Amino acid sequence: MSDYPSIVLEQAVNQMASLPGVGRRTALRLVLHLLRQSDSDVQAFANAFARLKTEIVYCRECHNISDSELCPICGSPRRDHSTICVVENVQDVMSIENTGQYTGVYHVLGGVISPMEGIGPKDIEIDSLIERIAKGDVQEIILALPTTMEGDTTNFYIYRRIQNAELPEMPKLSQIARGVAVGNQIEYTDEITLGRSIVNRTLFAVN
């Protein structure tokens, strides 16, 4: 006999436990929590996931998650469409949006180049980025990829691809500042970050 008194219960626990970081004991606790909710609440819970794959699309411009062919950011006339910020994933778009410091548009790669994980340039949205740039009207590309080996590799690959693209006009290419995080103590900052933050120091803007 199975450990579970019900196959329906067991299947729900199996599904919950398939999520990353959710163990079987936690999964059981979550499913029993759902079981105590009203019929309509549990139906709403199930429906929200049933709709995920059928209704979510990816923006044809920036490849961000969207409800329509063009995401709200790419569709907005109030955004600066001549500046493209290149990010790894959807969460990064949300994080940058939350800063309120960026008014341009995005390009979501959907990953970074990682030979270790078998992710090459063709597996992420780099070709579509080059096409977007080749259309013209792009003034600046801001690379906001993770400050890891994979992020740096991807940065360099994109840089070379733009160089080789024989564009009529070369856009500016920048990457987000790296250095000591705001609020961090100098003594607890790792050596590489601290070393770079000295090399790449910024001048006070003296009026």
Per CB under 8 A, residues contacting a copy of itself are 1, 3-9, 11-12, 14-15, 18-22, 26, 28-35, 39, 42-56, 59, 64-67, 71-73, 89-91, 93-94, 97-98
Nearer to a copy of itself, 7 or 206 (CB): 7
Q: Which residues contact 144 (CB under 8 A, 6 or more apart)?
A: 85, 86, 87, 92, 96, 175, 176
Least CB distance from residue 51 to a copy of itself, whole Å?
5
Cβ neighbours, 10 Å, residue 87 = 26
83 φ, ψ to 5°? -120, 125
Nearer Cβ to a copy of itself, position 14 or 139? 14
The residue among 2 and 164 lying less far from a copy of itself, judged by its C-beta, is 2
Indicate the residue among 34 and 149 with the shorter CB distance to a copy of itself: 34
- Cβ 206 to a copy of itself, closest distance in Å? 38
Nearest partner of 143 among 170, 108, 117, judged by Cα: 108
Q: Judge contact between 167 and 134, C-beta under 8 A.
A: yes
Closest distance between a copy of itself and the C-beta of residue 72, in Å? 6
Residue corresponding to tokens 């900052």: 189
DSSP letters of 63-86?
--EESSSS-TTTT-TTSEEEEEEE
The nearer residue to a copy of itself, 8 or 176, going by C-beta atoms, is 8
CB of 150 to a copy of itself, least distance (A): 18
The four Cα atoms 201, 202, 204, 206 give a dihedral, to 10 degrees, of: 130
Whole-number minimum distance, CB 191 to a copy of itself, in Å? 29
Cβ distance 108 to 125 under 8 Å? Answer: yes
